Structure formats: C-alpha cells, structure tokens
Amino acid sequence: MTQKTRNKTKREEFSQLYSQYYPLVFNTVYSKTGNRDDAYDISQEIFIIYYEKFEKIGDNRKWLFGVLRNVVLRHYSQKSNTTVDIDSIFEDVSLTFVNGFRDTRIIIEEAIENIEISEEDRTILEYIAYNNYSYTHVGSILGMTKRQVGYRYLAIVKKILEVLREKGIQNIEDLL
C-alpha cells in the first residue's frame, strides 16, 4: 500500500470514528466547561491528537475520555493562574450518595461496564442513557433509523438487567 493510499484510508477511518464520537466528546467537555466555544476548541484539540494516534489505539472511547480529562485540565490551568483540582472538575457523583445509594450505583455501573457489547452499542448506550439523546438523534449520528436504534437500545438494556439479576437484583422496580 502506498503512502497516499494509506493516508486516504486513514482519513476515511478517522472520519467514521470522529462522526461517531464527536458529539459525545463535545457534550462531555461542555458539561465540564459550560462554554460552547471553549467546548468546541477543546474537542478540536482532542481530535487533532486523536488523528495522529487512533490507528494504534485499542479502546477509542477510553482513550478519548482519558485525553479529554487532561486537555480540560490544561484548559483550566491556562485560563486561571490558580491551581485547579482536577477531581473537583471530574467529581465522581457516586461519592455524594449515602445510605446504600452509593453501593447500588456501583453495582449498576459495574453491570454497565461488564456487559459484552460492541463499541457501537456502547456509544448508543452513552448517548441515550447518559446524555438523554433521542433515538432520532442517535440515528443521525450513527447512520441508523429510529427503529434500529430503539431495537438495539432495548437489547442493550436487557443485557444490563440480566447482569443485575445475576448480581441479585431480580426486579428492576426495586431500584426505583
């Protein structure tokens, strides 16, 4: 394969991954910065780094969110001279729970992490379950129909509930 062909294949693969992850990264950065323009700039910075390295990366999602954390921290450091506590920005909400809520959250989190689903299914889960995107919006990001997204999301949720059942939570209503 010539260098030119390799570059063409690279940009095509990157374009597919970018279109899949960009809204997710942008939303996360926005939730940390609260500024749309900053979120756009930071997202661009993350994906410029990603473009150079994505061919060697195994888990794209984990890598992107790892870099996101560092780039957001650098952004805060550049904006203010004061020292920023990164944990306060990426605060684990589970720490705020008491009276058994924290344990339940950890169980749910583990169930979501442990289910064996494709990278695309995990993206669907994150868009809908974490960011409250509609099926239509997810469909337009991933190139699926609303029905396809709904069907796949239901299958993912069923898998999560199955794992929860294995962990002793027989009825989903018990968690509500």
170 binds other proteins (CB under 8 A): no
State which of residues 62, 66, 85, 175 lies at the interface with other proteins (CB under 8 A).
Answer: 175
Name the minimum Å distance from CB 97 to other proteins. 8
Distance CA 46, CA 81 (A): 22
Distance CA 36, CA 31 (A): 10
Burial (0-12, 13-18, 19+ Cβ within 10 Å), 75: buried
Distance CA 133, CA 126 (A): 9
Q: Provide the residue type at 37 as one letter.
A: D
- What torsion, rounded to 10 degrees, do the Cα atoms 88, 89, 93, 98 define? 10
Cβ(117)–Cβ(85) under 8 Å? no
146 binds other proteins (CB under 8 A): yes
State which of residues 55, 109, 119, 166 lies at the interface with other proteins (CB under 8 A).
Answer: 109
| Between 15 and 70, CB nearer to other proteins | 15
167 binds other proteins (CB under 8 A): no
State which of residues 80, 82, 132, 168 lies at the interface with other proteins (CB under 8 A).
Answer: 132
CB neighbours of residue 42 within 10 Å: 23
State which of residues 67, 72, 133, 163 lies at the interface with other proteins (CB under 8 A).
Answer: 133
Contact residues toward other proteins (CB under 8 A) are: 7, 10-12, 15-16, 18-19, 22-23, 26-28, 30-31, 36, 39-40, 43-44, 47-48, 51, 93-94, 96-97, 101, 104-105, 108-109, 112, 129-133, 137, 139-146, 148, 153-154, 157-158, 160-161, 172-173, 175-176
